[in-house]
Structure 1
Amino acid sequence: MKRSMAHLKNMYRLTVSETEKDSVIHTPGLSYESIDRDDLLHQQEYLPPTLLDETGRTIFDYAQLTSDRLTFVASSEVISEKAVYDTSVPKSPLDVLYQLGYVGKSSLSTVASIVVPSTGQAILRNINHLVGMDKTSRRPKPLPDWWREKHGGSAILKNPLIVPRLQRPTDAPQYTAKVAWMHTDNYNHTNYTTYVDYCINALHYAIEKGCMGAVNKDVVKRGIKSMRNTYIGESLENDELTVWVWASDQDDRTVHFDVQKLGQSIFQSTFVYHDE
């Protein structure tokens, strides 16, 4: 989502490496809203910063790359160390390191790592796989040659982030969510991070109803170790969504989600919680 440089200058101190292969944002740390009622950090997902300075430069020439296309998140992954939930590990200030992940024909991924600057410890890593779409046809649009030549060599991942589709059991409990205006982005679609909020609400609802077996409040309070998401469709303001949630039959730490609109899956996710 777009942010004005005037606000960014008051919020963050932005720097870019001399090679311009990565970018580090120095932040004051987590906001109050980042912590939930169980003192757990909401899972964070990070797209490349829109602006690096007053000249309009963007990391990976992102603004120039996306000026003639729409971009959508196709899949994402978040890996959280236990230090994320350890109150003895300082959460202020924090650095966010951005790198280019994978470069495909019409898609790319970004890698964001949260680092504690006082120790250099990376406590969270987020990969977002983005697909560029033609504004008219809404079909994938190949990345331009100039961009590949300039940035392709700095990619740190050899493969795209592919999240397999889930098969929902017939007896999975369901939860209903309605898309509000505050849940939408610049395209007037539901913001991709909001689906995770719907899933978390659905999980707590199912636990309260006694539908999640060994996955209980104590498991949730350990914090999420990993989260893998796949974005299949779209939803808009006032749409009513059904969120299906079920526990893995392999262990008591894994939970699956299937978000549907009008009977069609538009988002799926798998959470894996930390061990005790």
Structure 2
Amino acid sequence: MIIMEAKKDTKGKKSFIERPVGILKKQLGYKREFPHPNLARVIIPTLSYEGLDCSGEKILPWSLLKLFESCDLNDFWPFQDDPQGSHHESVIYSLNLELEIDEAMYRTDTPKFPLIIDSTFKYVKRSSRLVENILRHAEITRPYAKMSGVDVNMDPETRKPKPFPTWWSEHYNFPTDGQKSEFKLPLKPKENVFISKHRVYFSDTDENKHMNFTVYVRFCYNSFCENVLSGKYGADFNVYEIGLRKLQITYLKECNLGDILTVESWEDDVTKDAYYFEMWNGADLSATATMSYHNLSEKEKSSRL
């Protein structure tokens, strides 16, 4: 039997609810704590085997995104009048996100279990929010990874922005002001832009019936590796010797089952450590992204995951 416990503050107001959400999340073995109404802390037993890249023996960046998603604060929202009921009906669309991965995440000489994810609302506006997620270990000072991004609460029927519940925002007194998060690409050059094709399969979709936000990252990452291996750019890189350092991605239009997507990418002609991506679904620009990488040495390779 699953016991759902509603937490209350000293004034008797309803707070976050500690309960498993979703079929998969019920089996993850997470422990949830709420040190502050604006902070949800999740204790993770360890990284899953599926989170590792067998070809390069590295952490997969999209598996980290899925890990952060599995700790989404949205899972703890109760109804005002039914605190032990399901969370309010919502569809959360990501507008953009930034992922930073510390080099320590790729090493075996740093502890990997248990891990901690702290999720904090940086601001909440009428129908959008900026959430910061930090992955760390209690014995390590520096965070292993950080993901922050803006998403929008959407009406599941109209797919238009839907205001967050007023009582919810007022009760937690979330910040309403914050720096705007926006990522822009430099002008695409006329030469040295390379193309790869990707098909959206059923396993790339989620319960919202469109391509999951993590798959955009996987398609760009795989496109990058294909171009490096074919000698089109990244001459100093061995794709088996690198790890993603920083990702910035902006989501523009959804993609669906069966779509054939075209990823156009190019290398920064000045710094040589940034790569830019445009993902096209026919004539529609679906996403843009920037990626940079850790260039791991042979010595580091012997000790990383």
Q: TM-score, normalised to structure 2's length? A: 0.78
CA distance in 2, matches of 1:223, 1:94: 20
The corresponding residue for 2:60 is: 42
The corresponding residue for 1:168 is: 188
CA distance in 1, matches of 2:173, 2:270: 39
The corresponding residue for 2:37 is: 20
For 1:2-13, list aligned pairs within 5 A: 3-4=22-23, 8=25, 10-13=27-30
Give the Å deviation of 1:149.
1.0
Secondary structure of the residue that 2:225 maps to in structure 1?
Answer: helix
Q: Report the number of matched residues.
A: 266
CA contact (8 A) 1:76 1:228 kept: yes
Which residue identity lines up with residue 136 of structure 2 in the other structure?
Answer: V
CA distance in 2, matches of 1:216, 1:269: 19
Is the alpha carbon distance of 1:147 and 1:15 closer, same or farther for their aligned partners in structure 2, counting shifts above 3 Å? same
The corresponding residue for 1:249 is: 269
Is residue 80 of structure 1 aligned with residue 101 of structure 2? yes
CA distance in 1, matches of 2:76, 2:132: 12
**For residues 93-112 of structure 1, what are the alpha-carbon distances to aligned partners after superposition, in whole Å with 9 as ceiling and x for unaligned?**
21111111222232012211
Which residue identity lines up with residue 123 of structure 1 in the other structure?
Answer: Y
Give the Å deviation of 1:122.
1.6
CA distance in 2, matches of 1:110, 1:50: 9
CA contact (8 A) 1:12 1:27 kept: yes
**For residues 89-134 of structure 1, what are the alpha-carbon distances to aligned partners after superposition, in whole Å with 9 as ceiling and x for unaligned?**
1222211111112222320122111111233542111013111223
CA contact (8 A) 1:253 1:274 kept: no
Give the Å deviation of 1:80.
1.3
CA distance in 1, matches of 2:205, 2:27: 25
The corresponding residue for 2:9 is: none
Is the alpha carbon distance of 1:10 and 1:138 closer, same or farther for their aligned partners in structure 2, counting shifts above 3 Å? closer
Which residue identity lines up with residue 246 of structure 1 in the other structure?
Answer: W
For 1:42-191, list aligned pairs within 5 A: 42-43=60-61, 44-45=64-65, 46-47=68-69, 49=71, 58-59=75-76, 61=78, 67-119=88-140, 121-153=142-174, 158-165=178-185, 167-171=187-191, 172-191=193-212
CA distance in 2, matches of 1:48, 1:30: 12
CA distance in 1, matches of 2:277, 2:114: 33
Which residue identity lines up with residue 32 of structure 2 in the other structure?
Answer: T
CA distance in 2, matches of 1:195, 1:49: 20
CA distance in 1, matches of 2:159, 2:26: 35
Is the alpha carbon distance of 1:169 and 1:264 closer, same or farther for their aligned partners in structure 2, counting shifts above 3 Å? farther
**For residues 23-42 of structure 1, what are the alpha-carbon distances to aligned partners after superposition, in whole Å with 9 as ceiling and x for unaligned?**
22211211222221222211
**For residues 151-178 of structure 1, what are the alpha-carbon distances to aligned partners after superposition, in whole Å with 9 as ceiling and x for unaligned?**
34367x8223212255333331100000
CA contact (8 A) 1:207 1:215 kept: no
**Gap runs ≥5 in structure 2:** 1-20, 297-305
CA distance in 2, matches of 1:186, 1:166: 34
CA distance in 1, matches of 2:271, 2:77: 40
Greater C-alpha Rg? 2
Is the alpha carbon distance of 1:33 and 1:68 closer, same or farther for their aligned partners in structure 2, counting shifts above 3 Å? closer
Is the alpha carbon distance of 1:160 and 1:60 closer, same or farther for their aligned partners in structure 2, counting shifts above 3 Å? farther
Which residue identity lines up with residue 99 of structure 1 in the other structure?
Answer: T
**For residues 227-248 of structure 1, what are the alpha-carbon distances to aligned partners after superposition, in whole Å with 9 as ceiling and x for unaligned?**
1010000111111000111111
CA distance in 1, matches of 2:238, 2:289: 19
CA contact (8 A) 1:255 1:270 kept: yes
CA distance in 2, matches of 1:66, 1:254: 40
CA distance in 2, matches of 1:267, 1:196: 10
Secondary structure of the residue that 2:143 maps to in structure 1?
Answer: strand
Is the alpha carbon distance of 1:275 and 1:202 closer, same or farther for their aligned partners in structure 2, counting shifts above 3 Å? closer
**Sequence identity percentage:** 22
The corresponding residue for 2:46 is: 29
Give the Å deviation of 1:213.
4.6
Secondary structure of the residue that 1:153 maps to in structure 2?
Answer: coil
Is residue 273 of structure 1 aligned with residue 293 of structure 2? yes
CA distance in 2, matches of 1:105, 1:140: 9
CA contact (8 A) 1:215 1:247 kept: no
